[in-house]
Structure 1
Amino acid sequence: MRNGTSATMAPLSIAMITDFFYPNVGGVENHVYMLSANLIKRGHKVIVITHSHAPDRVGIRWLVPSLKVYYIPFVPIASSATLPNFLTFLPYLRTILIREHIHLIHAHASLSALGHEGILHSHFFGIRTVFTDHSLFGFDDAASILTNKLLAATLRHVDGVICVSHTGRENTVLRGELYDVAEDGETWTIRNHVYVIPNALIPQHFQPGPQSNSDTVTIVVLSRLAYRKGIDLLVAVAPRICKAFPEVRFLIGGDGPKRIDLLQMREKYQLQDRIEMLGPVKHTEARSVLIRGTIFLNTSLTESFGIAILEAACAGLYAVSTRVGGVPEILPEEMISFAEPEEDDVFRAIGEAISIVKGGKHDPILAHNRIRDFYDWEDVTERTEVVYDNVIKLPHTDIWQRIQRTMGLGPFAGPIYTIILIVNCMFFLFLEWWLPRDQMDFVTEDWDPKKFADFVMGEDEHTQVGSTESIP
């Protein structure tokens, strides 16, 4: 069904919880907003719980189409992520969940402390939980080890897990210990509550631009300029490409710690007329940058999905990417050239792409039409509803079951997380006594999308609503 919720599923009240949300822009932020907007269109009530992103962005804001956002007054420490709050977050969360009559919590991103805590606290309210993992992580450095153990502790209490690619699913299953080992000690199976639902986009926002008769080949890079995005590879290969192919120009958008390396490379090889640095690019301006190009280049060292590649292909660009993570699952092989994450192979793949686009073997309009048919937010939303329907039907787990699951983390981590769980439970009981539910104000009415739109516009189309914002 395309309109309204499925015939077998009643409308739900859903709380999206994540550290990563607007006004910051990124793949997770866009995913949470688009999924929320489409769930609202299908008849569900959705709110977002995140932290403050600026001194003046605290409290409640509304986004089109009637998406209510709670900005909790917690300050991020790095990359929009907060430190674990535990007992300080629970009073806020308890008030919101009770007032909004929430049925299900959907947490996003492994590095979101709010998401982990939302899952930890949720079972006190009898609320079902879903977690979406958007990234890949390693296993051999201190940061990854700590993150993975935290993820494993959280996923002991989650009812459903969604990954954006099959590679991401394998990574999350190993990191979160979401598998059962057979008696022989060698055979293991993934638990059946781990799902794969890819990302999506709005094809209308990435229409191909007019075709140019110029012989110039423009390679576009839109990325966070950081080590994980393989900017060192770009720094190494760009001068070689410019020397070997005089018709090539680079268009680089984004910001990050590796920006200075790109600027130094451009200065060293005197490529100011061949490499244009755009700086930060808003998501609403991405298409205008993409349609200036012919080839899109991604040099990531790790990538769970790669929404930027999908957007570029939808805008009609031929893609070149390192063969990492879930990237090989995104596009048909005739729309992308792959390279190993090493300088010589990236050079080879770019040369292959240049010959393909100059030879007229890539049709931007056909590429756009194929992406439009492959990736659709309505389809993603329907598949997510199936996950919600499955977890809502699960029986509730009591505190003793949760303690047993937590102790299974191991002789060291198990007792530590169990103590946290017990202290958390005691603090929850204290809050129930300190502020009884029958003394709380409840939200008795919510805006439907049409009512919200009428309120925003008002009788005068120039009416300003200070606490209401629109995300394109």
Structure 2
Amino acid sequence: MSVSRRVLLVSDFFYPNPGGVENHIDQLAQCLVSRGHKAVILTHAYEGHAGWRYLSNDLKVYYAPRLPFYSQVTFPTIFGSFRLLRAILIGERIDLVHAHQSFSVLAHESILHARTMGYKVVFTDHSLFGFADGSSILTNKLLKFTLADVHQVICVSHTSKENTVLRACVPPGRVSVIPNAVDTAKFWPSGQPDPPDKLTIVALSRMVYRKGIDLLNIVIPEMLARHPNLHFVIGGDGAKLPLLKATIQRQQLAARVEFLGAVPHQAAREVLVRGQIFVNASLTEAFCMAIVEAAAAGLLVVSTSVGGVPEVLPAHMIELAEPTPSSIIEALEAAIQKLPQRDPWKQHAEVQAMYSWPQIAQRTERVYDAAAASARDDTFVGRLKRYHKCGRWFGKICCCVAAVDYMYWCWLDWLYPANGIAIAPDTPYATDNLQETSLHHA
């Protein structure tokens, strides 16, 4: 099978874990395969998912034997994944590595090892980070080290680009802005007229602090008090869910608020079309896939105006609010007034024209081409020069890590020669019997 590019996409976040990054990687990989490329995904093992599997379109996923220790992020080992990654890169005949998400340990380690082996590397950042708290400072330092040696960087919004350039000191010319997209074939309006005596607002997100659940905890009771015909449908799970449930129970509003718990992505459309308005109260967002999916399903969107959110939808589809309860309530009231003018199918067609995965894949290909055509000094000395610029003392530490990684690679090359690694087929033979295979002998 002849393919024009062979790409390994790496992240701690992938199916069966739900989320925007997971969906982005899956959709991008599927589109790359459809466009004639070879795409392989590397993530860590999940419960019930280990070894390697073939998904639809012959998309191969390696579930590496590494356990997550916090929010599906694997414990950093720096060199522990090198042997397995090397076997995958050689066995799959990869020519470019595309890592995703700045707080994915597996992504950072894979960038280091891939660059040590001389591969072209692209990185996509999906989130915004601050500059003041301890965790942000550590993450930004790590990102500065990692991105010092990548060939191209992709951000999902212009706000995200500015954030990444400042955090990692990356030249803006190496950073491209490519938004997420939505598979509009999976998100379409219900086609049924809105019930005249019932108004439903949908909230669908992880129940964590960053998603503004504390704001919704104030907004929901106030909106229910103002509108007797109003109901809320809330999907998602997380640490803040008990807080929200306790408030609803205490104020005796359980009959008008339905909690669905965790909602698989394939069931999201069924939840969305139960309402007329979608609310997103996030405190920080680089892009926010959820509001695009809601708009594609024909809902009016109310969202906090944070991060890259103002770039995502045109004004007639969204009401923006400050991340305060009063501002969100005001935006919800404005959305309710706009409901009679809503045309779900026209809105669906507009979203379809704006956000298409084939278009996103095509734009990503151009970034791959730019990375492949890079003529910079990629010798080991050239890499050390780039790492040394990371800081007076931190730069020297980066150089030491890169040097140890290089020596480890030389040792692996001597102990496990590349010609002894089996070349994997491009398509599965007897797929039914190849659904899962151990990686422990890699």
Mapped contact 2:52–2:436 kept (Cα < 8 A): no
The residue type equivalent to 1:372 in the other structure is Q
TM-score for both structures, normalised by structure 2: 0.95
CA distance in 1: counterparts of 2:78 and 2:361, whole angstroms: 30
Aligned to 1:392: 372
Aligned to 2:440: none
Task: Report the 3-state secondary structure (helix = DSSP H, G, I; strand = E; otherwise coil) of the residue aligned with 1:203.
Answer: coil
Aligned to 1:248: 230
CA distance in 2: counterparts of 1:208 and 1:98, whole angstroms: 46
Aligned to 2:382: 401
CA distance in 1: counterparts of 2:232 and 2:67, whole angstroms: 37
Task: Report the 3-state secondary structure (helix = DSSP H, G, I; strand = E; otherwise coil) of the residue aligned with 1:206.
Answer: coil
The Cα of 1:392 is off from its aligned counterpart by 0.5
**Correspondent of 2:117 among 125, 136, 140:** 125
Aligned to 2:34: 41
Task: Report the 3-state secondary structure (helix = DSSP H, G, I; strand = E; otherwise coil) of the residue aligned with 1:246.
Answer: coil
**Correspondent of 2:211 among 210, 229, 236:** 229
Task: Report the 3-state secondary structure (helix = DSSP H, G, I; strand = E; otherwise coil) of the residue aligned with 2:275.
Answer: coil
Aligned to 1:380: 360
Aligned to 2:144: 152
Mapped contact 1:111–1:147 kept (Cα < 8 A): yes
The Cα of 1:215 is off from its aligned counterpart by 2.6
Where do 1:157-172 residues align within 5 Å?
Answer: 157-172=149-164
Aligned to 1:365: 345
The residue type equivalent to 2:114 in the other structure is S
CA distance in 2: counterparts of 1:261 and 1:322, whole angstroms: 21
**Correspondent of 2:268 among 286, 296, 301:** 286
- Counting matched residue pairs gives 435
Mapped contact 2:8–2:41 kept (Cα < 8 A): yes
**Correspondent of 1:354 among 336, 340, 346:** 336
Aligned to 1:467: 435
- Name stretches of at least 5 consecutive residues in structure 1 with no aligned partner: 180-189, 457-463
Where do 1:111-122 residues align within 5 Å?
Answer: 111-122=103-114
CA deviations 1:89-136 (Å, max 9, x no partner) are 111111111111110000000011111111111123321000000011
CA distance in 2: counterparts of 1:63 and 1:89, whole angstroms: 23
The Cα of 1:383 is off from its aligned counterpart by 0.3
Stretch moving more, 389-398 or 244-253: 389-398
Task: Report the 3-state secondary structure (helix = DSSP H, G, I; strand = E; otherwise coil) of the residue aligned with 1:334.
Answer: coil
**Correspondent of 2:85 among 87, 93, 117:** 93
Aligned to 2:101: 109
Aligned to 2:195: 213
Task: Report the 3-state secondary structure (helix = DSSP H, G, I; strand = E; otherwise coil) of the residue aligned with 1:30.
Answer: helix
Stretch moving more, 395-404 or 424-433: 395-404
Aligned to 1:461: none
Is 1:266 paired with 2:248? yes
The Cα of 1:439 is off from its aligned counterpart by 2.4
CA distance in 1: counterparts of 2:60 and 2:102, whole angstroms: 23
CA distance in 2: counterparts of 1:287 and 1:326, whole angstroms: 23
Task: Report the 3-state secondary structure (helix = DSSP H, G, I; strand = E; otherwise coil) of the residue aligned with 2:97.
Answer: strand
Task: Report the 3-state secondary structure (helix = DSSP H, G, I; strand = E; otherwise coil) of the residue aligned with 1:251.
Answer: strand
CA distance in 2: counterparts of 1:384 and 1:107, whole angstroms: 13
Aligned to 1:310: 292
CA deviations 1:39-59 (Å, max 9, x no partner) are 0011111111111112x4221
Is 1:61 paired with 2:41? no
CA distance in 2: counterparts of 1:283 and 1:391, whole angstroms: 32
**Correspondent of 1:138 among 123, 130, 137:** 130
Task: Report the 3-state secondary structure (helix = DSSP H, G, I; strand = E; otherwise coil) of the residue aligned with 1:221.
Answer: strand
Task: Report the 3-state secondary structure (helix = DSSP H, G, I; strand = E; otherwise coil) of the residue aligned with 1:86.
Answer: coil
Task: Report the 3-state secondary structure (helix = DSSP H, G, I; strand = E; otherwise coil) of the residue aligned with 2:287.
Answer: coil
CA distance in 1: counterparts of 2:263 and 2:298, whole angstroms: 19
Mapped contact 2:116–2:405 kept (Cα < 8 A): no
CA distance in 1: counterparts of 2:223 and 2:348, whole angstroms: 27
The residue type equivalent to 1:351 in the other structure is E
CA distance in 2: counterparts of 1:269 and 1:123, whole angstroms: 57
Mapped contact 1:13–1:101 kept (Cα < 8 A): yes
Q: Percent identity?
A: 44
The residue type equivalent to 2:259 in the other structure is M
The residue type equivalent to 1:371 in the other structure is V
The Cα of 1:375 is off from its aligned counterpart by 0.6
Mapped contact 1:63–1:468 kept (Cα < 8 A): no
Where do 1:193-204 residues align within 5 Å?
Answer: 193-204=174-185
CA distance in 2: counterparts of 1:323 and 1:377, whole angstroms: 25
Task: Report the 3-state secondary structure (helix = DSSP H, G, I; strand = E; otherwise coil) of the residue aligned with 2:36.
Answer: coil
Aligned to 2:282: 300
Mapped contact 1:129–1:159 kept (Cα < 8 A): yes
CA distance in 2: counterparts of 1:351 and 1:465, whole angstroms: 55
Distance 1:465 1:436, change over 3 A: closer
Aligned to 2:408: 427
The Cα of 1:299 is off from its aligned counterpart by 0.2
Aligned to 1:81: 73
Mapped contact 2:50–2:436 kept (Cα < 8 A): no
CA distance in 1: counterparts of 2:287 and 2:430, whole angstroms: 38
- Name stretches of at least 5 consecutive residues in structure 2 with no aligned partner: 438-442
The residue type equivalent to 2:33 in the other structure is I
CA distance in 1: counterparts of 2:97 and 2:310, whole angstroms: 31
TM-score for both structures, normalised by structure 1: 0.90
Aligned to 1:182: none
The Cα of 1:245 is off from its aligned counterpart by 1.3
CA distance in 2: counterparts of 1:230 and 1:294, whole angstroms: 21
The Cα of 1:258 is off from its aligned counterpart by 0.4
CA distance in 2: counterparts of 1:218 and 1:324, whole angstroms: 24
CA distance in 1: counterparts of 2:434 and 2:62, whole angstroms: 15
CA distance in 2: counterparts of 1:205 and 1:176, whole angstroms: 36
